[in-house]
Structure 1
Amino acid sequence: MPLRYWKVRPYVLTAGRTRTRTPLLVHTLVSVPYYDAVFAAGLLPEARSLYENARRAARSVAELSAVCGISLGVTRVVVDDLAATDRLLVHSDHDNVDFRLLERLRDGLRKLA
């Protein structure tokens, strides 16, 4: 009898949790500081997919969700779990913000209004 891949229910992946310990917005960037193949081999397929896709380049939570085909809520919880093990780095939302650009954008929108 051939083995089949059974899709795991979201509440199994998140242990019933719907909230994260740290706020993870859709645009929050995550990356893998150092890749551990042994650690990856021990993960559930969904978590492994998130871990390996974040390894290639810093990606947003929303992008990981889309690329891996995992719901955003589950992605947030699993990313939070991986970050708690220090295997995944959650970048500060302020690291990549150009406040001067945002101010110019705001001023331009005010002129249009």
Structure 2
Amino acid sequence: MLTGGRTRPLQHGLRVETMLHAAPAVLSAPLRFEPRRIVELCQAPMSVADLAVGLKLPLGVLRVTVADLVTEGYLRIEQQLGELPIESIERIRDRVRAL
């Protein structure tokens, strides 16, 4: 229901370590339920994996919802230069396992 039956995100390239951020002004947008909570959590940059764990949503469902929010301009993808530190990769791995 949350994704309207879609299983593939509109925005490609959303990996578990992709960092997302929402501007404070987006809090006044007319969003409800999970999209609203995602925008609230992304006031500080947050990875896709961390969002899935925080919202207790399957990763696939979250990726479709997040892709919609990126496409609609509510979220932006943070630019990541270079490789992630091993600590970040391990933390993401642990959070994905928790799903």
With the shorter chain as reference, the TM-score category is 0.7 to 0.9
Conserved? CA contact 1:46–1:70, under 8 Å: no
Q: Could you tell me how far apart the structure 2 residues matched to 1:26 and 1:59 are?
A: 10
Q: Which runs of 4+ in 1 moved over 2 A?
A: 33-38
| 2:28 equivalent to 1:38 | yes
State the structure with more CA Rg.
1
Structure 1 gaps of 5+ residues are: 1-11, 103-113
Q: Could you tell me how far apart the structure 2 residues matched to 1:17 and 1:82 are?
A: 14
Q: CA offset at residue 97 of structure 1?
A: 1.8
Give the match for residue 78 of structure 1.
Answer: 65
1:61 corresponds, among 28, 48, 51, to 48
Q: Could you tell me how far apart the structure 2 residues matched to 1:15 and 1:37 are?
A: 23
Give the match for residue 8 of structure 1.
Answer: none
Give the alignment's TM-score, normalised by structure 2: 0.74
Structure 2 gaps of 5+ residues are: 87-99
Q: CA offset at residue 98 of structure 1?
A: 4.4
Give the match for residue 108 of structure 1.
Answer: none
Give the match for residue 94 of structure 2.
Answer: none
Conserved? CA contact 1:34–1:87, under 8 Å: no
Q: CA RMSD in A?
A: 2.1
Amino acid at match of 1:49: R
Conserved? CA contact 2:27–2:39, under 8 Å: no
Say which structure, 1 or 2, has more relative contact order (CA 8 Å, 6+ apart): 2
Give the alignment's TM-score, normalised by structure 1: 0.65
| 2:40 equivalent to 1:52 | yes
